[in-house]
Structure 1
Amino acid sequence: MTRPDLSDADARAAYRSELRGIARAPRMLGLIFVFASLGLWAWPQNGGPLVLGPLPTETWGWICLGIGWAVLLWVIVARTRHNKERLGGPDA
């Protein structure tokens, strides 16, 4: 990959836009899981009208939170690797 020209404001804006596009769908999926966990915690502890199996809703909220943060952590690693490769750092 070629090193981006960061001396120009327009080129910096284009590179920021490129970085925002890296792993966009998984990032949104991770955020959906995190917000779904908040919804599951706010749900009545009996499960309400939604049947989620033998586990209480709070447990499903913790599971969703763990999945969401795992996905978001993967996105952070993917964006960092892309940035290192693109800038051609010493560990690239």
Structure 2
Amino acid sequence: MTATRIRIRHVRPTEAQILKARYDEARQIKNAWEHRLKTAHLAHKDATTYGGDTEATRRNINAVQINLADAAGELQVALDLWMHATSTPERRAS
């Protein structure tokens, strides 16, 4: 008995599929920064309530807000590119 080898054909992803994956990743990153912002606010609340270092927690909130704004911008860019790719005829990614 002989076995015939079956060749697996690898289909390259389309540009829209690649951009959708980029959008999904940007959305997850933004969600992670939103979670960190909530955590930073809770830490600031605890520092205020129980007498901790409120200046450090305020600086942390500011830093997280900057990163969150950057992530939101990246998410918007990824969404725009993905929507543009889906509104035009599909092209194979090269």
Please list every run of 5 or more consecutive structure 1 residues that lacks an aligned counterpart in the other structure. Answer: 3-17, 48-54
8 Å contact from structure 1 (residues 33, 68) kept in 2: yes
8 Å contact from structure 2 (residues 23, 82) kept in 1: no
Please list every run of 5 or more consecutive structure 2 residues that lacks an aligned counterpart in the other structure. Answer: 1-13, 89-94
TM-score in terms of structure 1 length: 0.54
8 Å contact from structure 1 (residues 36, 64) kept in 2: yes
Deviation at 1:22, TM superposition (A): 4.1
8 Å contact from structure 2 (residues 26, 78) kept in 1: no
Amino acid at match of 1:23: Y
Q: Which residue of 2 aligns with 1:70?
A: 70
Q: Distance in 1 between matches of 2:42 and 2:74?
A: 27
Q: Percent identity?
A: 8
Q: Distance in 1 between matches of 2:63 and 2:56?
A: 11
Structure 2 counterparts to residues 7-86 of structure 1, below 5 A: 19=20, 21-43=21-43, 44-45=46-47, 46-47=52-53, 56-86=56-86
1 or 2 for the larger relative contact order (CA 8 Å, sep ≥6)? 2
Instruction: Name the structure where helix makes up a greater proportion of residues.
Output: 2
The structure having more radius of gyration, on CA atoms, is 2
Amino acid at match of 2:28: M
Aligned length in residues: 68
8 Å contact from structure 1 (residues 37, 62) kept in 2: no
CA offsets per residue over residues 14-71 of structure 1, 9 Å max, x none? xxxx85x442122212211122112112113325xxxxxxx61122122112202211
TM-score in terms of structure 2 length: 0.53
